[in-house]
Chains A and B, each alone.
Chain A
Amino acid sequence: MQNDKNFYIIFSIILIFMAVAPLVIQNTHFQHLLIMLLLFATLSQAWNLIGGYAGQVSFGHAVFFGIGSYAAMAPLTHWGLTPWVGMLIGGVVAIIVALIIGVPVFRLKGHYFAISTFAVAEVVRELFTNWEWVDGPIGLDAPVLEQGFYNLMFYKNKLPYLYIVLVFFFIMMLLTFRMERTRMGYYFRAIKQRPEAAQAMGVHISKYKQYALMMSAFFTAICGALYGLYILHIEPATVLSLDISIKIVLITALGGTGALWGPLLGSIILIPLQEYSRIWLGGTGKGIDLILLGALIVLICIYEPRGIVGLLKRFNFQKGKN
Chain B
Amino acid sequence: MAVLEAKDVSMYFGELAALKEINLSVEQGEILGLIGPNGAGKTTFFNCATGFLTCTRGDIFFKGQNITRVPGHRVCHIGICRTFQIVQSFSEMTVLENVMMGAFCRHPNTSNSMHSAQDILDFTGLADKRDQIAGSLTLADQKRIELARTIATEPDLILLDEVMAGLNPAETEEAIELIKKIHQKGLTIIVVEHVMEVIMNISHRIAVFDSGELIVEGPPEKIVRDERVIQAYLGEEYHA
Please list the residues of chain A having a beta carbon within 8 angstroms of any beta carbon in chain B: 181-183, 186-187, 189-190, 193-194, 196-205
Residues of B within 8 A of A200 (CB): 50, 52, 72, 76, 81-82, 84, 88, 150
Q: How far is the CA of A193 from the CA of B74 in the complex (A)?
A: 20
Asked whether, in the complex, the Cβ of B73 is within 8 Å of the Cβ of A196, the reply is no
Using a Cβ cutoff of 8 Å, how many contacts connect chains A and B? 72
20 example contacts (A-B, Cβ-Cβ < 8 A) are as follows A183-B113, A186-B100, A187-B101, A189-B92, A189-B93, A190-B93, A190-B101, A197-B84, A197-B89, A197-B90, A200-B81, A201-B101, A201-B102, A201-B105, A201-B153, A202-B74, A202-B76, A202-B104, A202-B153, A205-B73
Selected contact of A186 from candidates B81, B91, B104, CB within 8 Å: B104
Q: Is B97 an interface residue (CB 8 A)?
A: yes
Q: How far is the CA of A198 from the CA of B52 in the complex (A)?
A: 12
Residues of A within 8 A of B93 (CB): 186, 189-190, 193
Q: How far is the CB of A298 from chain B (nearest CB, A)?
A: 24
Q: How far is the CA of A197 from the CA of B104 in the complex (A)?
A: 14
* A190-B90, A197-B84 known; A182 vs B110 contact (CB < 8 Å): yes
Name the residue of chain A whose CB is nearest to the CB of B71.
A204
Please list the residues of chain B having a beta carbon within 8 angstroms of any beta carbon in chain A: 50, 52, 71-77, 81-82, 84, 88-93, 97, 100-102, 104-105, 108-110, 113, 146, 149-150, 153
Q: How far is the CB of A125 from chain B (nearest CB, A)?
A: 36
Name the residue of chain A whose CB is nearest to the CB of B102.
A201
Selected contact of A198 from candidates B71, B92, B101, CB within 8 Å: B101
Q: How far is the CA of A204 from the CA of B51 in the complex (A)?
A: 12
Name the residue of chain A whose CB is nearest to the CB of B90.
A193
Asked whether, in the complex, the Cβ of A197 is within 8 Å of the Cβ of B88, the reply is yes
Asked whether, in the complex, the Cβ of A189 is within 8 Å of the Cβ of B90, the reply is yes
Selected contact of B149 from candidates A182, A193, A201, A204, CB within 8 Å: A201
Contacts A186-B93, A194-B89, A205-B73 supplied; 5 other A-B pairs, CB < 8 Å: A187-B101, A198-B90, A200-B88, A202-B74, A204-B73
Residues of A within 8 A of B108 (CB): 183
Name the residue of chain B whose CB is nearest to the CB of A189.
B93
Q: How far is the CA of A305 from the CA of B81 in the complex (A)?
A: 34
Residues of B within 8 A of A202 (CB): 73-77, 104-105, 153
| Complex A-B, nearest 5 residue pairs according to Cβ-Cβ distance, in ascending order | A202-B76, A197-B88, A202-B105, A204-B73, A199-B72
Asked whether, in the complex, the Cβ of B76 is within 8 Å of the Cβ of A201, the reply is yes
* A200-B50, A202-B73, A202-B77 known; A186 vs B88 contact (CB < 8 Å): no
Q: How far is the CA of A187 from the CA of B110 in the complex (A)?
A: 12
Q: How far is the CA of A199 from the CA of B149 in the complex (A)?
A: 13
Q: How far is the CA of A205 from the CA of B88 in the complex (A)?
A: 16
Asked whether, in the complex, the Cβ of B88 is within 8 Å of the Cβ of A196, the reply is yes
Asked whether, in the complex, the Cβ of B105 is within 8 Å of the Cβ of A194, the reply is no
Residues of A within 8 A of B91 (CB): 193-194
Residues of B within 8 A of A189 (CB): 90, 92-93
Residues of A within 8 A of B92 (CB): 189, 193
Asked whether, in the complex, the Cβ of A181 is within 8 Å of the Cβ of B110, the reply is yes
* A186-B100, A203-B73 known; A196 vs B84 contact (CB < 8 Å): yes
Residues of A within 8 A of B52 (CB): 196, 199-200
Q: How far is the CA of A190 from the CA of B100 in the complex (A)?
A: 11
Residues of B within 8 A of A199 (CB): 52, 72-73
Asked whether, in the complex, the Cβ of A201 is within 8 Å of the Cβ of B88, the reply is no
Residues of B within 8 A of A182 (CB): 110
Q: How far is the CB of A285 from chain B (nearest CB, A)?
A: 41
* Best-surrounded residue of A187, A194, A198, A203 (most CB of chain B within 10 A): A194
Q: How far is the CB of B70 from chain A (nearest CB, A)?
A: 12
Q: How far is the CB of A178 from chain B (nearest CB, A)?
A: 10
Asked whether, in the complex, the Cβ of A187 is within 8 Å of the Cβ of B104, the reply is yes
* Best-surrounded residue of A198, A199, A200 (most CB of chain B within 10 A): A200
Q: How far is the CA of A186 from the CA of B50 in the complex (A)?
A: 22
Residues of A within 8 A of B72 (CB): 199-200
Residues of A within 8 A of B71 (CB): 204
Name the residue of chain A whose CB is nearest to the CB of B72.
A199
* A181-B110, A201-B149 known; A186 vs B97 contact (CB < 8 Å): yes
Q: How far is the CA of A189 from the CA of B104 in the complex (A)?
A: 14
Residues of A within 8 A of B82 (CB): 200
Q: How far is the CA of A181 from the CA of B114 in the complex (A)?
A: 11
Q: How far is the CA of A198 from the CA of B82 in the complex (A)?
A: 11
Residues of B within 8 A of A190 (CB): 90, 93, 101
Asked whether, in the complex, the Cβ of A194 is within 8 Å of the Cβ of B153, the reply is no
Asked whether, in the complex, the Cβ of B73 is within 8 Å of the Cβ of A186, the reply is no
Q: How far is the CB of A166 from chain B (nearest CB, A)?
A: 29
Residues of B within 8 A of A196 (CB): 52, 84, 88
Asked whether, in the complex, the Cβ of A201 is within 8 Å of the Cβ of B104, the reply is yes
Q: How far is the CA of A111 from the CA of B75 in the complex (A)?
A: 27
Residues of A within 8 A of B97 (CB): 186
Q: How far is the CB of A15 from chain B (nearest CB, A)?
A: 25
